[in-house]
Structure 1
């Protein structure tokens, strides 16, 4: 057992605890005990497995705190401890020694305290940061936006407050379409292939084979306030964007249409106002949109991709929105249907064409 490189007992019905003797497996490169019924605490002796590159204990019934000894795993590249509902306490500062981390998945636990700013200083190779569905408080550390390799930033369903940091343009990986696949190999040719749950199109989807292609920012269901930063529209590689369930105000950025790869967009349950930018109709990959329960007004843009999104629920709870797919007509529609005299000539009438009305209401937002 001492010379074992890969220890994979995932997706079984294993119960009981993780024995402290795990520390004797000093040559382990991959430890995957995910998707079982393991309980108890994470043993301190796990820190003795100093060659470990992939650690996956997700989807179990672990409890207690994340042991500080995990900071000894300085070769670690991926850490999945998500979906252990009784895992509590703060993120130990010793983890800052794991500078090769590319994935830190701590979602769906009971972790608390502030999100450590040192994550943005220590994990410069981080691609995935999932802190979803915990009890984190305080502001989003602006240091997180210094991680240029970050593709997935999921801070949803916490108790975060403050505004969205302005320096979003620093997230270089979200500005480009991702194409590289990613595996963990060891000397025997065996590998560990990670997976991740991402909230897309209103449901949790599991990504495995194409996880390296995912670009996602999910800050939903917090207490964030202020306006949506215009810098967000520089993240041209984003495929999933969810800011719903906060207290955001102001307008939807006029250049939102620049995010050409967006497949899922959710700004619902905020206090956003103003018109829906016409540029949104140019999002040709968009298959899920939710702008409900805001204070948006004016005509709903039509044409292109928006023509395929005909569910009125997308726009419900915005009392001053009008036009299809909502039943209420715009005032300009009533005007356009009324006959108008032309040049004072008796009996010569015409109706104002819809194309003219659209042009007059066009938002050329910068």
Structure 2
């Protein structure tokens, strides 16, 4: 095994080692990939062979703390220990023990305490996933040094902080997951310039954010404005030095996440680079939906359920033609459901239940596939699929009552020409008909008056 470059023991039923893997000779040349993923390994973390660059031990039953020897792995490029029973504090060397580290995945363990504020300048970290642990405190400000960071997952912890707008300066950040923590306060609008230009997925659900939705930020999230029609690719990190079992097989680390989409929690074991989503549910946001959100034409998932949002549903949401899931339920929206939403032909899930909406439900296209549950809790709604019919005078309308909307009632000059032509024609016809009608009425009245006068004269003569 003097030329060992990869030892892949993953996806078995191994429970441990007869002797320490550190006694393996390793490779004096290329670095080593040591893959123990998806076994039944128990006890403390096994010490890897010398020269290990990729240490993968996810999906097992490992226990104990991360040992101090981890700080000596100065050529480590990826450390993936997710989905185990590891616990304790993270070592203070985390984030600065290796200049080569690009993947740090410790999700779904029992780590607690604060996240060390020791991420070094010019860090190569592209993935940091510390979600589903027991971390407290604030987000470490030294993450600003991770200029290559693409994925930051801190969801399902006990982190208490305001929204980290300073992360917007990271030029490659694609995915930001802060779900189910104790984040609070208003999301401040950018004062100068724009941030989060590469952001495609943001999940802030189940926190205590308040105030208005970040209208100006929606104008800055440029990656969500792009409808990606190129060939399908996934967000992933290539684990160099290749993690090869043969010279032509490359090993990759696939970014994964779970988010609330289409009415349920969906797990993406691989994240397609076309996926774009905004999840702001279960917070304390108020005010109206800003029209600026209509600029995000690449958006596929929009979930803002369980907030205190109000006003009318803006018709400009009909511009989000890539949208597949739209959840506006459990807010305080009023008025009608815009007819323009019928244009969302990819919409597979729609929920506006438990609001104060009124009027007829739009008909056609995807709206023919939604059942009663999409509209429950709005006593003023009528029309299919509800059993309550609409009155004859009610019909879907294209009127847009959105507060702050800049859309006009008529979309262009052609509409005005049609309207004015009809008005002019109607006016002429009305005048002609009105004249004929008036002339007939006057003649009839004069005739009646003349008849009455003759009858009166006859009566007088008889009396005399």
TM over 0.5: yes
Deviation at 1:12, TM superposition (A): 1.1
1:93 counterpart (141, 152, 155): 141
Partner of 1:170: 220
**What is the SS of the residue equivalent to 1:177?**
coil
**What is the SS of the residue equivalent to 1:70?**
coil
Deviation at 1:116, TM superposition (A): 2.2
CA contact (8 A) 1:52 1:73 kept: no
Q: Which ranges of structure 1 fall in alignment gaps of 5 or more residues?
A: 336-356
Deviation at 1:203, TM superposition (A): 1.5
Deviations 1:180-235 (A, max 9, x none): 43321243213222211121112211113343231100111000011101011111
Partner of 2:398: 362
Normalised to the residue count of structure 2, the TM-score between the two structures is 0.70
Partner of 2:173: 126
1:78 and 2:114 correspond: no
2:315 counterpart (238, 243, 254): 254
Normalised to the residue count of structure 1, the TM-score between the two structures is 0.88
**What is the SS of the residue equivalent to 1:211?**
coil
Instruction: Between the two structures, name the one with larger relative contact order (CA 8 Å, sep ≥ 6).
Output: 1
Partner of 1:324: 384
- Determine which structure has more spread, i.e. the larger CA radius of gyration: 2
CA contact (8 A) 2:327 2:351 kept: yes
CA distance in 2, matches of 1:4, 1:142: 44
**What is the SS of the residue equivalent to 2:161?**
strand
Partner of 1:189: 242
Distance 1:61 1:99, change over 3 A: same
1:43 counterpart (83, 87, 91): 91
Matched positions, count = 339
Partner of 2:438: none
Partner of 1:314: 374
Deviations 1:83-136 (A, max 9, x none): 11x211110111111121111110111100212221112x12100000011000
Partner of 2:207: 158
Distance 1:140 1:267, change over 3 A: same
Deviation at 1:42, TM superposition (A): 1.2
CA contact (8 A) 2:301 2:326 kept: yes
Distance 1:364 1:111, change over 3 A: closer
- Bigger shift: residues 248-257 or 72-81: 72-81
Partner of 2:306: 245
Distance 1:73 1:194, change over 3 A: farther
Partner of 1:3: 51
Partner of 1:15: 63
CA contact (8 A) 2:257 2:271 kept: no
CA distance in 2, matches of 1:230, 1:308: 27
1:264 and 2:325 correspond: yes
Deviation at 1:2, TM superposition (A): 5.0
Distance 1:80 1:130, change over 3 A: same
Distance 1:245 1:364, change over 3 A: closer
CA distance in 2, matches of 1:12, 1:73: 32
Across the aligned residues of Structure 1 and Structure 2, the Cα RMSD in angstroms comes to: 1.8
Deviation at 1:166, TM superposition (A): 1.2
CA distance in 1, matches of 2:355, 2:185: 25
CA distance in 1, matches of 2:215, 2:85: 42
> Counting strand residues as a fraction of each chain, which structure ranks higher?
1
CA distance in 1, matches of 2:289, 2:68: 48
Partner of 2:80: 32
Partner of 2:154: 106
Q: Which ranges of structure 2 fall in alignment gaps of 5 or more residues?
A: 1-48, 244-251, 402-406, 408-464
